[in-house]
Amino acid sequence: MTTASIKEVARIAGVSIATVSRCMNSPDKVSEKTRIKVQDAILKTGYTPNTLAQSFRRGRTNVVMVVLPSIGDPFFTDVMRGIRNAADAKGYSIIINETQFNTMTADEIAAMVVSRQTDGIILLASMSPFGTEVLSAKSHRALPIVVGCETVAPELTVFPSVHIDNVAAAKEATNYLISRGHTRIGLICGAANSLLTKDREFGYRAAMHEAELGIEDGWVVNGDLTIEGAIRATRSLLNHSHRPTAVFCTTDEMAIGCLHSAKSVGMRVPADLSVMGFDDTRYAAVTDPPLTTISQPATEIGERVMYRLCREIEQGRQSSSGDNRPELVAHRLIVRESVAEPAAE
């Protein structure tokens, strides 16, 4: 069977090949009458454009890669919804690279750049899967890169980003616990080498310092950003000789682990232990008890990071404005039932 050509579409529509191309690639630049004629001709012929050939002619693939630590994380699911909304609106497709803390080699990403398998990259709260040589802003072959949610590694601070003010959010979360009467507050956080962890820990320490409250050795523990890690971390806090009456977990997933761990040893939340989360994932409102947490506008972050990447692609990476300042979105404290006044001792 002979495949219909763009030349055949143009003949039937009574227009030039260039006009057919404009109808498909820039329909806003063609009159409605012409668009209708071309659309009818496409339907009659069954013409399907060769998108690969179009990509080579334009020097673009209309594909972006999203790199994230875990597809199963409910927070990233909501961020991805926003990315897909914006990608659909801008005519882009998405490929996903789940790192699970693995890395791509410099040769692999260089091959991707040369072959133009993707027009740009979104890094979602993920360590870079690429070598620093590939990430270099001075590399003429480098792809446009935008960081979404948080910058977790120093080499990523040179790229545009979209996220909340993590220091301010963590400070507000800690201040809320203090306002409920807690003076012994533990922190379950991620790896110490993560800029995200540092920002949220800094906010916690700043609030404790301003309230003139001490932080004892053993009150700041690594929960590995997992439920299992938070269970272990909570056990450590509960076995402390001067155990906290409240625990601030820097993700909701770790807060869920903290709730489970406390209940497994017969503690009541919040009567015996108050628990604060971070992210306001879809599970936060249905935990037992419902989780007090910091809400990040995940879908909005996803949309804004995708639109920011589109601007980088269209203007060229590291555009002439040189404006790589982060775009900050607002967080909110969500008060539910997992925090109460400390029990009288």
Which three-class secondary structure state does DSSP give residue 157? helix
Residue 55 belongs to some domain of the structure: no
Q: Which two tokens stand for residue 98?
A: 């789940």
User: Tell me, what CATH number does 136's domain have?
Assistant: 3.40.50.2300
Residues 6 or more apart whose Cβ sits within 8 Å of residue 177: 185, 246, 248, 274, 276, 339
Same domain, 268 and 303: no
Task: Answer yes or no: is 86 within a domain.
Answer: yes
Same domain for 45 and 116? no
In this structure, are 206 and 268 located in the same domain?
A: yes
Counted domains in the chain: 3
Q: Tell me: do 319 and 232 sit in the same domain.
A: no
Tens place of pLDDT per residue across the chain (345 aa): 456 778 888 899 899 888 887 777 666 677 878 888 887 887 788 776 654 455 444 556 788 988 887 777 788 889 999 999 999 998 898 988 776 544 444 445 545 444 456 788 898 875 555 554 445 544 444 578 899 987 666 777 788 899 999 999 999 999 999 999 999 999 999 888 778 889 999 999 999 999 999 999 999 999 998 999 999 999 999 999 999 999 999 999 999 999 999 999 999 999 999 999 999 998 999 999 999 999 999 999 999 999 999 998 887 654 444 567 889 999 999 999 999 999 876
The SS3 call for residue 95 is strand
Over residues 136-172, the pLDDT tens digits come to 544 444 578 899 987 666 777 788 899 999 999 999 9
266 and 157 both lie in a single domain: no
CB 159 within 8 A of CB 146: yes
Q: Residue 36 sits in a domain of what CATH number?
A: 1.10.260.40
Sign of the alpha-carbon dihedral angle for 55, 58, 59, 62: negative
Residue 45: exposure state from Cβ atoms within 10 A (0-12, 13-18, ≥19)? middle
250 in any annotated domain: yes
Domain identity same for 12 and 87? no
> 246 and 316 share a domain?
no
Q: Which domain holds residue 226?
A: 166-295
Give domain status of residue 58, yes or no: no
Residues 170 and 287 reside in one and the same domain? yes
Q: Are residue 156 and residue 303 in the same domain, yes or no?
A: yes
Question: pTM of whole model > 0.85?
Answer: no
282: in domain: yes
Distance CA 108, CA 115 (A): 11
Length of the chain: 345
- Domain identity same for 156 and 200: no
Same domain, 154 and 108: yes
Write out pLDDT tens, residues 23-67: 776 666 778 788 888 878 877 887 766 544 554 445 567 889 888
Which residues face 122 on adjacent strands? 66, 146
- Establish if 334 belongs to a structural domain: no
State whether 289 and 192 are in the same domain. yes
DSSP 160: -
**Structure token pair of residue 110:** 């260089």
